[in-house]
Amino acid sequence: MKIKNMPIAFRARSIALGLLVFLPLAGIGTSLSANIEGAYTAVTPTIEQARANILISRQLQFTHFRDQAINDELADEVFDDYLDYLDGQRVYLTQEDIRDFQPLKAEMAAALRTGQLQPGFEIYNRVQQRIIERMDYALGLLDDGLDQFDFSSDDEILLDRSETEWEPDQEALDKLWNKRIRNAVLGQRLNGSGDDEIIEVLTRRYESQRKRVSQMRSEDAFQAYMNAFTGTWDPHTNYFSPRNSENFNINMSLSLEGIGAVLQSDNEYTKVVRLVPGGPAARQGQLGPADRIVSVKQEDDDTPTNVIGWRLDEVVDLIRGPRGSTVTLEVVPANASDETVTRSIDIKRDKVKLEEQSASSEVIELERNGEKYLIGVIDIPTFYADFQAMQQGDPNYKSTTRDVRRLLEKLRNEQNVDGLVVDLRNNGGGALHEANDLVGLFIDQGPTVQIRSSDNQVQVLSDQDPSVAWDGPMVVLVNRMSASASEIFAGAIQDYGRGLVVGSQTFGKGTVQAVRSLNHGQLKITQSKFYRVSGGSTQHRGVIPDIEIPSRVDTTRIGEDALERALPWDQIEAVPHTRYFDFSGMIDELRDRHASRFDESPEFRLLQQEIDFLREQRKTTMVSLNEDQRRDYQQQLEHRQLTIANARREIKGEEPFESFEAMEEYEEQQAAEAHGNEDDELDFIVREGGHIMADMLELDRRMASILPVDTVTAKAE
All structural domains of the chain:
18-233 (no CATH), 239-351 (2.30.42.10), 354-517+527-591+703-712 (3.90.226.10), 602-684 (no CATH)
pLDDT band at 626 (very low <50, low <70, confident <90, very high): very high
Number of H helices, E strands in the chain: 21, 23
Look up 484 and say whether it is catalytic: yes
In sequence order, what are the residues at sequence separation of 6 or more whose Cβ sits closer than 8 angstroms to the Cβ of residue 665? Answer: none
pLDDT at 248: 44
Q: 2, 4, 297, 509: which one is catalytic?
A: 509
pLDDT in tens, 355-396: 567 899 999 999 988 889 999 999 999 998 877 777 888 888
Phi and psi angles of residue 683, each rounded to the nearest 5 degrees, phi first: -65, -50
Handedness of CA 594, 505, 644, 367 (dihedral sign): positive
pLDDT at 559: 93
Q: Report which residue type is found at 659.
A: S
Q: Say which residue, 25 or 551, is predicted with more confidence.
A: 551
pLDDT in tens, 174-231: 999 999 999 999 988 988 899 999 999 999 989 988 988 988 899 999 999 999 999 9
Q: Is 361 helix (H, G, I), strand (E, B) or coil?
A: strand
Q: Do the Cβ atoms of 80 and 88 come closer than 8 Å? A: no
Q: Report which residue type is found at 569.
A: W
Look up 509 and say whether it is catalytic: yes
b/e for 378-413, b at 16 or more Cβ within 10 A?
A: bbbbbbbbeeeeeeeeeeeebbbbbbbbebbeebbe
Query: Is pLDDT at 708 greater than 70 in this prediction?
Result: no
In sequence order, what are the residues at sequence separation of 6 or more whose Cβ sits closer than 8 angstroms to the Cβ of residue 92? Answer: 86, 127, 130, 131, 134, 173
Cα 79 to Cα 107: distance, rounded to the nearest angstrom? 11
Query: Is pLDDT at 462 greater than 80 in this prediction?
Result: yes
What is the rounded average pLDDT of the residues 408-420?
95
Cα 630 to Cα 645: distance, rounded to the nearest angstrom? 23
pLDDT at 277: 76
Q: 220, 291, 350, 495: which one is catalytic?
A: 495
* CA-based nearest residue to 173, from 134, 125, 140: 134
DSSP string covering 554-580? -TTTSSGGGSTTPPPP-B-----EEE-
pLDDT at 624: 95
Q: Do the Cβ atoms of 510 and 458 come closer than 8 Å? A: no
Query: Is pLDDT at 332 greater than 50 in this prediction?
Result: yes
DSSP string covering 601-658? -HHHHHHHHHHHHHHHHHH--EEE--HHHHHHHHHHHHHHHHHHHHHHHHHTT-PPPS
Q: Say which residue, 664 or 22, is predicted with more confidence.
A: 664
pLDDT at 1: 40
Cα 145 to Cα 196: distance, rounded to the nearest angstrom? 9
Helical packing angle, 587-600 and 680-699, nearest 10°: 140
How crowded is residue 587: how many other Cβ atoms within 10 Å of its Cβ?
A: 15
Q: Say which residue, 62 or 683, is predicted with more confidence.
A: 62
pLDDT at 702: 63
pLDDT at 389: 78
Task: Return the minimum-mean-pLDDT range out of 55-59, 476-480, 693-697.
Answer: 693-697
pLDDT at 703: 64
pLDDT band at 553 (very low <50, low <70, confident <90, very high): confident
Q: Say which residue, 645 or 267, is predicted with more confidence.
A: 645
Q: Do the Cβ atoms of 507 and 526 come closer than 8 Å? A: no
* CA-based nearest residue to 342, from 376, 318, 298, 307: 307
Query: Is pLDDT at 542 greater than 50 in this prediction?
Result: yes
Look up 399 and say whether it is catalytic: no
Q: 255, 453, 484, 504: which one is catalytic?
A: 484
pLDDT in tens, 49-97: 999 999 999 999 999 999 999 999 999 999 999 999 999 999 999 999 9
DSSP string covering 383-417? B-B-HHHHHTT-TT--BHHHHHHHHHHHHHHTS--
Q: Say which residue, 637 or 255, is predicted with more confidence.
A: 637
pLDDT band at 336 (very low <50, low <70, confident <90, very high): confident
Q: Report which residue type is found at 98.
A: I
> What's the whole-number average pLDDT of the chain?
86
In sequence order, what are the residues at sequence separation of 6 or more whose Cβ sits closer than 8 angstroms to the Cβ of residue 52? Answer: 222, 226, 239, 518, 519, 520, 521
Q: What is the CA radius of gyration of the chain?
A: 27
Q: Do the Cβ atoms of 677 and 288 come closer than 8 Å? A: no
pLDDT at 712: 64
Query: Is pLDDT at 701 greater than 80 in this prediction?
Result: no
pLDDT in tens, 2-61: 333 333 222 222 222 222 232 333 334 444 544 444 468 899 999 999 999 999 999 999
pLDDT band at 337 (very low <50, low <70, confident <90, very high): low
Query: Is pLDDT at 249 greater than 80 in this prediction?
Result: no
pLDDT in tens, 443-453: 999 999 999 99
